[in-house]
Structure 1
Amino acid sequence: MALPAQDRRTMPAVVLNDLDHQPLEHALTRLHTLIEQHGHLIVVCSTAVPVAVTRRLHTLRSLLESDRIALFQPDLPPLGVAVLARQLRQLASCDLGPGVLACAGRLLTHYIHAGAVLGSVARLDRVPVGLKAHARSWVPGSQFAVAAHPQPQLVRVGPEATLDGPEFGTWMLVAKGQLPSDWAGSLAKSWNVHGLRETPLPAESPQWWGTGRMVEFCAHLADLSVLYQLVTSVRKGACHWCGMDVIGDRCVFCSATPPVYEPPAPLALEQRTPA
């Protein structure tokens, strides 16, 4: 899902719909055209997409023999992935190289607080669920508040229920599914967010959360200047494999990590017998 632009500088998104259903030649031509138009391509997708989509992306990258395609599947719920993709689109208008921009996704993931209000946790396998919560899922009218990132949390919705939230100013995005609940609005107040906006539910959300009876929410940084300051405050280096400027400990384009250099073994002193 491509969220609407946050401001006029936000770069437009390209949505690769039905990638696993269209002929391979068509998908190959489309990706090649995108690379020729923009130079580099950062593909951000949810871990809940069908395996065929992920396999097709790796096949296309291999056939194009291109090191200008970065495939990034963050460990976030679908709404969090959509938010992260928009943050990268915001930063794409700044003076950041493609390697730094791709690596920024791994950095910004740590500042996203994502969860959902669920009508059942019986099929939830992304967050640890106890036996009591499983049993209560069968009680009509039960609702559960779940935080999937950055730390897993699960509570039964009630007057005193709450989740630990961010310790910095955020905006909250809410996507309503088939569950009638206003609890996410109460959570936004307890988290002291700057504001709350609504958006359609991502297509992968029911698969990720194990139910369509849900309201997904995501607290995030929305100010471009704050995002830019976070990224540029990290020391930049060159990937030893592809030479691209990167931040962090992994290049998202070639997946290379910095080499580990072992210190040389100390030289043994030659013992001489005095004459």
Structure 2
Amino acid sequence: MPTAIAVTGPDLVLPSPDRHTPSAAVLQSAVQSPRTYSLDQALTEMHTLIEHHGYVIVLCPASARPALVQRMYAIRSVLESDRIAILRPDLPPLGLAVLALQLRQLSICDFSPGVLASAARLLSHYIYAGALLGSVAKLDRVPVTLQSHAKSWMPGTQFAVLATPRPELIKVTGEATLPGPGFGTKMLYAAGQLASGWVTETLAPAWRAQEVAEARLPADSGRWWATGKLVEFAAAIPDISVLYQLVSSVRRDDCHWCGLELIGDRCGFCAAPLPAPPERAAPTPTTAPAPAPAPASASAPAVRALPRGRT
């Protein structure tokens, strides 16, 4: 069975593009209240996923409420399992759903669980996620100028905001558009209380999106963007062969703590950073005296220090 990709809400599960891509596991421990879904039930749910899939990658939004984050870490702590990765990408809700879909596509490839988990950070840099907003007065996820705040109070004013990979904000006027990707993408959009015409008729052609499709608006989008007057959008690489090539082209290392493979500078499962390469040793002078014999106590095996955060 492929590594399980788990999400914290059903609206983060996009339809599978083909019959081979597995669905995501929606964690009921994240959806339901602790009063109605006990810790024992949550532990059973996660243990079942581990038994069926071997490893579980949980996508928990960086914007998730503290109680949800604490529960996810409590489950992993009680199970004492090193087969659960809790990833917290800083993406808007629709962008997070797109990332979950990409990981689901790659889960059926020959990538190890460690590579798949650490690939989430890489793939996030290739997701262009933003929204068309009727107001930026309360927006705090993206830098907003005082002038934009003032303009947002004018009736009919709309703003286009790009959250990732580089924050950008413009007032929607004429042919003005956001900077887009320089590679082929599929654009998804989800309409709230605004018409989607600007996104589909202006932004998508400017970004040369290969395909445009409508999706369900995630429940958390209004809170993330601080307004219900929005059309959220996300453009990303849809082709699994391109995604595979992107991930497989990155150098792989072994985590010095848990032993899993990883790409990048941090393990997705234990969060241990990749050690810096050792500095080149200075040449020893030829006239240096021979080293003295080591005392008997030095022959004892060295104790490896625990990385920070591990006990």
TM-score tier (shorter): over 0.9
Structure 1 position 45 matched with structure 2 position 60? yes
Q: CA deviation at 1:45?
A: 2.2
Structure 1: runs of 5 or more not aligned: none
Give the alignment's TM-score, normalised by structure 2. Answer: 0.84
Distance in 1 between residues matched to 2:32 and 2:261, nearest whole Å: 30
Residues 19, 53 of structure 1: 8 Å contact kept: no
SS of residue matched to 1:86: helix
Select which of 18, 37, 42 maps to 1:7: 18
Alpha-carbon displacement from aligned partner over 1:208-251 (angstroms, at most 9, x marks no partner): 11111100000100011111111111111211111111111111
Q: In structure 1, give the amino acid aligned to 2:217.
A: L
Q: CA deviation at 1:7?
A: 1.3
Partner of 2:267: 251
SS of residue matched to 2:25: coil
Residues 45, 81 of structure 1: 8 Å contact kept: no
Select which of 98, 111, 120 maps to 1:83: 98
Q: In structure 2, give the amino acid aligned to 1:4.
A: P
Partner of 2:4: none
Distance in 2 between residues matched to 1:259 and 1:20, nearest whole Å: 40
Distance in 2 between residues matched to 1:166 and 1:210, nearest whole Å: 25
Deviates more, 1:104-113 or 1:16-25: 16-25
Partner of 1:16: 27
Distance in 2 between residues matched to 1:44 and 1:67, nearest whole Å: 16
Residues 20, 53 of structure 1: 8 Å contact kept: no
Q: In structure 1, give the amino acid aligned to 2:152.
A: S
SS of residue matched to 2:26: coil
Select which of 219, 226, 229 maps to 1:203: 219
Distance in 1 between residues matched to 2:255 and 2:47, nearest whole Å: 24
Alpha-carbon displacement from aligned partner over 1:159-196 (angstroms, at most 9, x marks no partner): 12211000011110001111224111110011111010
Structure 1 position 102 matched with structure 2 position 117? yes
Cα RMSD of the aligned pairs, angstroms, is 1.7
Alpha-carbon displacement from aligned partner over 1:32-68 (angstroms, at most 9, x marks no partner): 1111111000001222222111110011111110000
Structure 1 position 173 matched with structure 2 position 184? no
Q: In structure 2, give the amino acid aligned to 1:212.
A: G
Partner of 1:221: 237
Distance in 1 between residues matched to 2:56 and 2:172, nearest whole Å: 41
Q: In structure 2, give the amino acid aligned to 1:245.
A: E
Alpha-carbon displacement from aligned partner over 1:8-35 (angstroms, at most 9, x marks no partner): 1111111114255321111111101111
Q: CA deviation at 1:130?
A: 0.5
Residues 63, 90 of structure 2: 8 Å contact kept: no
Identity %: 57
Structure 2: runs of 5 or more not aligned: 1-11, 290-311
Distance in 2 between residues matched to 1:258 and 1:23, nearest whole Å: 37
SS of residue matched to 1:111: coil
Aligned residues: 272
* Displaced runs of 4 or more, over 4 A: 262-272
Q: CA deviation at 1:271?
A: 9.5
Distance in 1 between residues matched to 2:128 and 2:270, nearest whole Å: 28
Q: In structure 2, give the amino acid aligned to 1:235.
A: R
Residues 174, 215 of structure 1: 8 Å contact kept: yes
Larger relative contact order (CA 8 Å, sep ≥ 6): 1
Partner of 1:148: 163
Distance in 2 between residues matched to 1:259 and 1:192, nearest whole Å: 40
Q: CA deviation at 1:265?
A: 6.1
Structure 1 position 28 matched with structure 2 position 43? yes
Q: In structure 2, give the amino acid aligned to 1:6.
A: P
